[in-house]
Amino acid sequence: MSVTSADTPGTLEVVLVKAGRTKISYPAELLADDGTRLVVRAPWAGDGVRDFGFVQFEKGDIFTEYYWRDRWYSVKEVRDAAGERKGWYCDITRPATVSGGRLVVEDLDLDLWRSADGTDVRRLDEDEFAESGLATRDPAAAAAAEKALDDLEHLAREGGFEALLA
């Protein structure tokens, strides 16, 4: 099924779940859905400025977000209010599910950042992942999460990252 703004424009509620609870939810414009990959666009949904030290997310930032029903990650292209790309923030998650107008993903703590120029690629929150206990509770999910992070880092460093989102 292909859904684009020319076919069936609409919105989805993006719901990020962590440790069994909703971490954040926000409305997003559905740009495309080919049955495997969904693409949505939404303004920064956080409160105030989120300063990571290497990038800030703030009011006016626009996120174009890519979710897969068969992959263990999501990729968010971040642009500032003027349209300049800041980079890509990648969440390691269980594959996305969509039901009743809600796109739901479970955050597995691991993240990856790739700057707009590709010179800064960094793995994030590996300590949180280790502390989460996922490796003990669900070793298969933990292995899938670690592989997803490795795969994304490889794409980010060695090329192919933009092709993933084309």
Model confidence at 127: pLDDT above 60? yes
Structure tokens at 20: 């069994």
Tens digit of each residue's pLDDT (9 = 90 or more) over 81-124 = 999 999 999 999 999 999 999 999 999 999 999 999 999 999 99
**Residue 18 is inside which H or E element, if any?**
strand 10-18
Query: Quick check: helix, strand or coil at residue 106?
Result: strand
Q: What's the rounded Cα separation, in Å, for the pair 126 and 103?
A: 25
pLDDT tens figures, 27-68: 999 999 999 999 999 999 888 899 999 999 999 999 999 999
Q: Which two tokens stand for residue 86?
A: 């800041």
Residue carrying structure tokens 């980079």: 87
Does an H or E element contain 158, and which?
helix 139-158
